Amino acid sequence: MARTHNLGFPRIGAKRELKFAQEAYWKGQSSLAELKASGAKLRQRHWENQAGLDLVPVGDFSFYDQVLDMSFTLGNLPERVRGFHGDVLDNYFRVARGRSAQAAEAHAGCCGGVAAGEMTKWFDTNYHYIVPEFTAGTEFKLDAGRLLEQLAEAQAQGVKAKPVIVGPVTYLAIGKAKDDSDRLALLPRLLPVYAQLLETLAAQGVEWVQIDEPVLVTELDAAWQGAFETAYGELKTSRVKLLLATYFGQLLENVALAARLPVAGLHVDAVNGRDDVLPLIEALPADSVLSLGVVNGRNIWKTDLNATLDWLEPLAQRLGERLWIAPSCSLLHVPVDLASEQKLDAEVKSWLAFALQKLDEVRVLAQALNQGRQAVRAELDANGADIQARRNSPRVNNPAVKAALAKVDARLGERQQPYAERAARQAALLKLPKFPTTTIGSFPQTADIRQARSQFKAGEIDEAAYQAAMRAEIARSVREQEALGLDVLVHGEAERNDMVEYFGEQLDGYAFSQFGWVQSYGSRCVKPPILFGDISRPKAMTVEWIRYAQSLTDKPMKGMLTGPVTILNWSFVRDDQPRAVSCRQLALAIRQEVLDLEQAGVRVIQIDEAALREGLPLRRAQWQEYLDWAVECFRITANGVADETQIHTHMCYSEFNDIIASIADMDADVITIETSRSDMELLDAFDDFKYPNEIGPGVYDIHSPNIPTEAHMVNLMKKAAERIPAERLWVNPDCGLKTRQWNEVIPALTNMVSAARALRESVA
């Protein structure tokens, strides 16, 4: 009998209940007890949603981030937050976002926030985790309170609990040594704490523990491979059974390593790594469980159940009770429930599966394996009909788009002149000072903006009233920027709900959900568009808004666009053609918008590619193929303009030192990046690589409520000037400001402009 389980469930709630509870507490509108009660209520509901599984994850719920949870479980707290005397959850929020609720800070006698933990992408997803911090002297001490509390709740509810933790090798691999020490040297100190944790769970009656080691699907040198042997050799004496879980990719050369680790079971991503499965079956010990992730945990398309069963049935005959069935990875990366959707039309909806529907797919597959296909014939027939209808739908296939794509050649991606000549022409036209200041694009999405958008969608106000409200907000943003003294302005993006969704709503080939929210980080949730068909742009998307904003000022106004690679990577992308093909279709559509902006007189155009790096394959051997088409798509988008038109791009919260040459190949005139949380460490790439164009290293961490001082920003820019000539440096925040409040933004930008003026004086 094949068993069923899940690796993790979305924690935010079907209607983003966790987000609203978090933010109410941070704003001082609710108590810590109320926040914890909200979390308990969500956990109870989510366990009920998974009640049909043989084993249910516990500990996958988090008030911010599962990696930060593991840091606190291991007692690995940054020095700056030790000695805090308030509730542990308040200290946890201080690491996550620089501070907890204002009330908690005051109660603890704090004089303000602390530096928030560095944040980066979880492997190749759009989920952000808080990077563990290490030094050569790091010590670990078990604090299992959070996990034990959730386990007790689950057991009281009758849940067949499988605690979930981040494994020791992955935990070290995804962290950062602040003193450049060897992270692997910490393994002997770390493993006894893991052993103690497993023993603590065994004492609570736990049989199975899921220990996540996704780093196994990456290329590992001999030292890191040896770390796996050491770690699991030491943990094999635990009284619990370990299910070592890998996901997001293929094991490839790590198959033999994974198969010989002394664990009771191994989970593999059979969506991305199907070719690993037969070698694993041959290599695993005869009594080892093999869990196959056969339902895609990262995308929202229905599984072809009949085709999956064709593949699974012979494996089930070989493995018997050793076979477990699950999603490929945690369902953290997909929305909760398709059933509540009212916005999606019936045809597109019939092609989709959200978290609850994916668990139902797992149930149907296991039931078919255990009882025969006839036991679930109706479900299999309905699924087959939906799969075939999607394949044949004329909404998916547009011959005109395919014909346009066939005409693409290398000339579309070339500027007329090299950067040096373009820069001189742009300088003569724009007349900017040294250390020019700008922002990344968005300004606070106020309650008035959200109310107007909601009223317009509900039909309570007409389009004219909505546009008037948005124009008023744009005018406010322009006034504030002129008062601050910024050099290149933005229109503030009041009319945009999301930097990807806004564009997707105006492109053919996209669909949009009502409740398709997923967590990006903390309380930040996004609703990825659903890219289901060939992409085209029926009409201009941004021109009138930017033209209006430019009419309000004599200063340069940036046209703000999201680039094709980011639109692709932040969408749920069709799985019936290569991603590169979909990206080229997007590039052609956004290129039309760039040319229309230039035709409207816009001389600075920013094409954000915040997600360029996260699309990288997990294995370096596969990087170049991706980078070739990703850079090509950006260049197709950006390079139809005249030399006088200045092209900007933006990237945030990504380690890109190792792809800096490809970023230079994009040939944007100006690139803005995140560097504030990393204290300019991201600029280490420029020690060995002479970046040829202009760059704005972000000096204002917009994901923290802390307001940076002028001196702090001057210091960061001076560090930048050690690597990049001052005449090619811009001063800007590290990301858009939509999530902040005006009362935070104004003083922070005031200090930023003052910092730029101080820098100009220092080099005069």
Q: What is the pLDDT of residues 165-214, one digit of tens each?
A: 999 999 999 999 999 999 999 999 999 999 999 999 999 999 999 999 99
- Is 440 labelled as part of a ligand binding site? yes
Encode burial over 116-146: b for 16+ CB neighbours within 10 A, e otherwise: bbbbbbbbbbbbbbbbbbbeeebebebbbeb
| % the chain with pLDDT above 70 | 97
**pLDDT at 522 (0 to 100):** 95
Q: CATH number of the domain that 510 lies in?
A: 3.20.20.210
pLDDT of residue 96: 96
Which pLDDT score is estimated for 536? 96
Q: 613 and 713 in one domain? A: yes
Which two three-digit tokens encode residue 589?
């559509």
Ligand-binding site membership of 554 (annotated): no
Answer yes or no: is 16 a known binding residue: yes
pTM: 0.87
pLDDT at 684: 74
Q: Is 520 helix (H, G, I), strand (E, B) or coil?
A: strand
Percentage of the residues of the chain whose pLDDT score is greater than 90: 86
The two tokens of residue 682 are 């991201």
Kindly state whether residue 431 falls inside one of the protein's structural domains.
yes
Predicted confidence at residue 678, as pLDDT, reads 64
- On whether residue 88 sits in a domain, the answer given is no
**Higher-scoring residue by pLDDT: 13, 660:** 13
Query: Does the pLDDT at position 691 exceed 90?
Result: no
Is residue 652 pLDDT above 80, yes or no? no
String of DSSP letters for 176-208: EETT---GGGGHHHHHHHHHHHHHHHHHTT--E
Is residue 187 one of the residues assigned to a domain?
A: yes
Do 37 and 152 have their domain in common?
A: yes
Is 15 known as a binding-site position? Answer: no
Residue 112 lies in a domain: no
The structural domain count of the chain equals: 2
| pLDDT the model gives residue 644 | 97
Least confident of 426-435, 470-479, 651-660, 727-736: 651-660
Is the confidence at residue 688, as pLDDT, over 90? no
Phi-psi region of 163 (alpha: psi -120 to 50; beta: other; left: phi over 0): beta
Mean pLDDT of 584-601: 97
Band of pLDDT at residue 375, cut at 50, 70 and 90: very high
In the predicted structure, residue 156 carries a pLDDT above the cut 60:
yes
161 torsion bin: left (phi>0), alpha (psi -120 to 50), beta (else): beta
Same structural domain for residues 435 and 288?
no
For residue 401, name the pLDDT band (cuts at 50, 70, 90).
very high
> Residue 648, annotated ligand binder?
no
Distance, in Å, from the CA atom of 164 to the CA atom of 210, rounded to the nearest integer, reads: 5
Range in 241-255, 364-378, 417-431, 726-740 the model is least confident about: 726-740
Report whether 56 contacts 66 (CB < 8 A): no
Same domain (yes/no): 585, 711: yes
497 or 372, which is more confident = 372
Q: Please indicate if the annotation marks 126 as binding a ligand.
A: yes
Residues 423 and 336 in one domain: no
- Which residues, in sequence order, are CB contacts of 715 under 8 Å at separation 6+? none
pLDDT of residue 614: 82
Identify whether residues 243 and 132 lie together within a single domain.
yes
Q: Is the pLDDT assigned to residue 109 strictly greater than 50? A: no
Whether 709 and 642 map to the same domain: the answer is yes
pLDDT of 102: 61
111: pLDDT strictly greater than 50: no
Residue 756 domain flag: no
Mean pLDDT of the region 103-117: 61
pLDDT score, position 680: 67
Are 578 and 504 part of one and the same domain?
Answer: yes
> Which range in 82-91, 136-145, 612-621 is most confidently predicted, on average pLDDT?
136-145
Q: Which range of residues forms the domain containing residue 597?
A: 419-445+478-741
Compute the distance between CA of residue 252 and CA of residue 214 in angstroms, rounded to an integer: 13
User: Are the C-beta atoms of residues 68 and 95 closer than 8 Å to each other?
Assistant: yes
- 19 belongs to an annotated ligand binding site: yes
Question: Catalytic residue positions?
Answer: 703
**For residue 497, what pLDDT is reported?**
85
Q: Are residues 423 and 384 part of one domain?
A: no
241 is in an annotated binding site: no
CA-nearest of 292, 260, 76, 54 to 168 is 76
Segment 103-112 mean pLDDT = 47
Q: What is the mean pLDDT of residues 40-54?
A: 98
Residue 218: pLDDT band with limits 50, 70, 90: very high
**Is 677's pLDDT higher than 80?**
no
Higher-confidence residue of 69 and 340: namely 69
Pair 435, 386 in one domain? no
Nearest to 481 by CA among 489, 473, 471: 489
**253 & 381 share domain:** yes
Residue 455 lies in a domain: no
pLDDT at 674: 78
> Contact, 197 vs 235, CB < 8 A?
no
Please tell me whether residues 509 and 546 are part of one structural domain: yes
**Conformation bin of residue 459: beta by default, left when phi > 0, alpha when psi is -120 to 50:** left
311: tokens are 């593949």
pLDDT digits (tens, 9 = 90+) for 437-493: 999 999 999 999 999 999 998 999 999 999 999 999 999 999 999 999 999 999 999
The two three-digit tokens of residue 253, written as one number: 């050369």
DSSP 12: S
Assess if residue 456 is contained within a domain: no
Q: Is residue 405 part of a domain?
A: no
What does the DSSP 8-state code read for residue 458? Answer: T
Q: Give yes or no for residue 110 having a pLDDT over 60.
A: no
- Is position 17 annotated in a ligand binding site? yes
289-298 mean pLDDT: 98
Q: What is the mean pLDDT of residues 591-602?
A: 97
Instruction: Tell me how far the alpha carbon of residue 64 is from its chain's centroid.
Output: 13
Ranges of H-type helices in 531-578: 543-551, 564-569
